[in-house]
Structure 1
């Protein structure tokens, strides 16, 4: 078995949870069976291959190019952003169709580059773009394009892999004949461990890519309506904002007590130091990579119920709230009495590190591809 993996961008550096998930999952799979990775270049600064990429049989990076004029009006915006005619030409070579036993399609944006006579496709859905476009109230014509793309993927892919049971159920509601599987977020149990030192009870953490619109909206709401009240009652408290992406409207206008960290190559020290991770996102979907990593370190999590979708035993492991004032009250409750949160997260840490290791998940993925 030899797998061809197609990614809309190189899954490095780890600017967001989606890239971390893709790189860790595929590199763990490559320890079991040969994997060739193809990606469309990222227009940002050049980054050397990470050590994990050494596991791949080969890595090919292709330049971006515009979609053909007849196709572009029908395509969703990310399809136009990530298209590569060079990749499409490379995939069309006949020997590539026979060389690979399966094709791992990381998100749907490169589907138009895949020839009709391709190896069986496994579509890896980090989130459901249809739901995201609806909840963010994208223009109707853009929502139609995303819905059309989902129908195309549903027809062409032999298997669909989701990060949560909730996304699986939503997809099956629209495509009841689809072959669907669930693969949750993972973690490296050798690195993400419970710290020996005590946590700083005066530090909270917001961790997530600010290139992701739901994260920006959630942080803006927290800054505007809730953090000032929390900080007024706990003036010694610091909220660290960690994540890639620029959000000058948030960074420059941040309230007192907010420390803007930005992108860090390794979030582990922050997860091991914070008194709690805040996840006020009111929109469902996605792998919840940061939450699994936080739990593996024993970091308490205060989250909305929708933000916690996809996490098994979330009611036992997390402090769940509703958005808005209920979330603010949840934070204040944790600060007043953090011990129950510490106890919950320590119970979760061992279970997560044992059952959500990348190696275990790669074994499941190998079965899905077979």
Structure 2
């Protein structure tokens, strides 16, 4: 670390997944937070590595971190280990992300470095914030994960419906306790913050909104490589991590139920599913005019050369990075109402917001048949992102929440 860095205050940053490279939604947010913290702090990062490809990137974190404790997490073993929660009565998400090695590192690092301020990215990482010496604790919940589990339960049969409902209830109890033990809880949209405070009214005064952003310099149409699509009909694309259940549900619903209806009007339409780790259900969709790419080195050409980008998520809520990136690449985007909650964009002008499958079919068909409207929406979409969604503007809130005036270096405020 440079000598000038030695003068900066230390901060503990805990993330449930290694925040580099920023190649999926949660890692885009966690990486930008890391980069922001590193400008004004010496960062001590505790995190998990849940994919073997990411282990190679641990060393690269030295650019932003003074020290890193990266714990390997095998998802299969983690799921088995999480069942201990059935015996302890806690949410299964907590033992999934529990590591005695990480807990020991947190306590010794906080003591050795005199760390008083900490940020936990995702609710389960808040279980490490009880280290003696920490005076200011901030949790970036992003979304209300407990509500997602409850929503999953509605679409499952017993016993999974019971298990997911239990997870929703137990995780909410932990989220409420963690929120009251911290100085601030962050959510990605006003809607998510309101959802949480309805379930946890005692946390109203400690709940804040920190929206997602986008690097509009990187995600810019003029920076896009050549088209990856072979000659053929128009292209509709969905991008995202394809082992994430809300994304799996979205592309399956779109491909099996909505795409055939759109093709009645646009027979040559091709659907591209772009993203890492496609689940078996996603791979099974591949066929005539449906393409599943798996991991790609750069998502920008797939966005820039698509005719329409869709994000028909029925489960995930809050502003999606995939939506902001597509808008920054000056593409017309069709997004579900739940995924557009909090999105500052004018429906019908800067994007299309749909409330059911019939609306998705209608607006996608309309856009594909009207190139002038697509072009106008593309220009307006990028302008909106450039004006409203700078990461730097949103992340300045962390400077205030982690400032000594809130009780750091002198007791809780």
TM-score scaled by length of structure 1: 0.90
CA contact (8 A) 1:5 1:104 kept: yes
SS of the residue corresponding to residue 320 of structure 1 reads strand
The answer to whether residue 106 in structure 2 is matched with residue 91 in structure 1 is yes
Please report how far the alpha carbon of residue 219 of structure 1 lies from its aligned counterpart in structure 2 after TM superposition: 1.3
Q: Deviations over 1:226-258 (max 9, x none)?
A: 112323432332211011223223322435211
The answer to whether residue 309 in structure 2 is matched with residue 277 in structure 1 is yes
CA contact (8 A) 2:107 2:131 kept: no
The change in CA–CA distance for 1:274 and 1:95 in structure 2 (over 3 A counts) is: closer
Distance in 2 of aligned mates of 1:192 and 1:86: 38
Give the counterpart of 1:295 among 306, 312, 327: 327
Distance in 1 of aligned mates of 2:374 and 2:93: 39
**Alignment-derived partner of residue 156 in structure 1:** 181
Please report how far the alpha carbon of residue 338 of structure 1 lies from its aligned counterpart in structure 2 after TM superposition: 3.5
Deviates more, 1:99-108 or 1:46-55: 46-55
What do you get for the CA RMSD once the two structures are aligned? Answer: 2.7
**Alignment-derived partner of residue 26 in structure 1:** 34
Q: Deviations over 1:9-43 (max 9, x none)?
A: 21234442011111122213312332221112325
The answer to whether residue 85 in structure 2 is matched with residue 77 in structure 1 is no
Distance in 2 of aligned mates of 1:240 and 1:68: 37
Distance in 2 of aligned mates of 1:70 and 1:366: 36
Distance in 2 of aligned mates of 1:27 and 1:76: 31
SS of the residue corresponding to residue 47 of structure 1 reads helix
CA contact (8 A) 2:318 2:338 kept: no
Distance in 2 of aligned mates of 1:67 and 1:86: 17
Q: Deviations over 1:53-87 (max 9, x none)?
A: 61223222135585796896333233222211111
Give ranges in structure 2 of 5+ residues lacking alignment.
Answer: 1-8, 154-160, 404-413
CA contact (8 A) 1:24 1:52 kept: no
The answer to whether residue 209 in structure 2 is matched with residue 170 in structure 1 is no
Matches within 5 A, 1:97-246: 99-115=114-130, 117=132, 118-137=134-153, 138-139=161-162, 140-178=165-203, 179-195=206-222, 202-246=234-278
Give the structure, 1 or 2, with the largest relative contact order (CA under 8 Å, sep 6 or more): 1
Give the counterpart of 1:319 among 328, 349, 352: 352
Distance in 2 of aligned mates of 1:292 and 1:53: 28
Please report how far the alpha carbon of residue 94 of structure 1 lies from its aligned counterpart in structure 2 after TM superposition: 7.8
The answer to whether residue 15 in structure 2 is matched with residue 7 in structure 1 is yes
Please report how far the alpha carbon of residue 166 of structure 1 lies from its aligned counterpart in structure 2 after TM superposition: 0.5
CA contact (8 A) 2:146 2:167 kept: no
Deviates more, 1:282-291 or 1:65-74: 65-74
Distance in 2 of aligned mates of 1:256 and 1:68: 41
CA contact (8 A) 1:226 1:328 kept: yes
**Alignment-derived partner of residue 341 in structure 1:** 374
**Alignment-derived partner of residue 402 in structure 2:** 369
TM-score scaled by length of structure 2: 0.81
